[in-house]
Amino acid sequence: MPAKTSTPLFVKIIKLSLLLISAVLAYFPIKNSEEFRYFFAPKVVYEVKGYQGDGNGPEDMEILTRRVSRLGPGLFSRADFMQNDGKAFIVLTRGAANARLVEFVSQHPGNFVMRGEAPEDIWYTNTDIVESTAVSPRGDDIAVSITVTDEAYAKSGKKVNDNVGGYSYVTLDGTVISKAKLQTKLGKSIMLAGYDNSDATGLVAILNGDVMSRAYTLVKM
């Protein structure tokens, strides 16, 4: 009998590569998917004006790049922070986020408060939120849904529901961005309405991360 011969390593690598390519093509049909267009999209670069490499600057940039990455249109879209010649940049690859959304998330540190009619009647803040998502309860309109922790609900749930018939306010960095009449009692998952669609998308990106120490101005190169 002829001796068995083993398949050369490079042949195995080629076969494995072809299998991986087939899997990708099966997952992202070229005809109906934008993913390939995003994957090979040109880079978009923003300069971070006034960035300081000491203090809270590095941590702020970690927070901001994660926010901008969440706004990317593609599954593999991402943002990276870079420095060159004393300047700071955020580089968007594999599909760039909408410029208005980038501006929104960079110019808001992200201090969120949901409260009653009196400014001191605070119900929930950033630290109480487990998850934030953008939902479409009515056609194309987008609302923000937040879910608070069990501990936060146990502390404030009764106080919130005692305000049925009154108004709730949502502030971002001290500015009222939403006012709504409480029509019914609220649970741990709360729908926040009253934003345009882009602000809702930006708010979700902010709430799913940490708060920056200050606002930043990003200039598209």
Radius of gyration from C-alpha coordinates of the chain: 23
Note the pTM of the prediction, 2 decimals.
0.78
Distance between CA atoms of residues 124 and 114, nearest Å: 5
Mean pLDDT within 134-156? 83
- pLDDT, tens digit (0-9, with 9 covering 90-100), for 44-76: 999 999 888 888 999 999 999 999 999 988 788
Return the pLDDT at 137: 60
Tokens of residue 89, six digits: 């940049």
Chain position carrying tokens 């109906």: 32
Domains and CATH numbers, the chain: 36-108+210-220 (3.30.70), 112-207 (3.30.1360.200)
Tell me the average pLDDT across 7-19: 70
Q: Which tens digits make up the pLDDT trace of 30-45? A: 444 666 677 777 889 9
- When comparing pLDDT for 142 and 164, which is higher? 164
Percent of the chain whose predicted confidence (pLDDT) is above 70: 82
Amino acid at residue number 163: N
Q: What percent of the chain has pLDDT over 90?
A: 50
What would the pLDDT profile of 157-168 be if each residue is shown by its tens digit?
999 999 899 999
φ and ψ at 130, to 5 degrees?
Answer: -85, -45
Q: Supply 80's token pair.
A: 């990276």
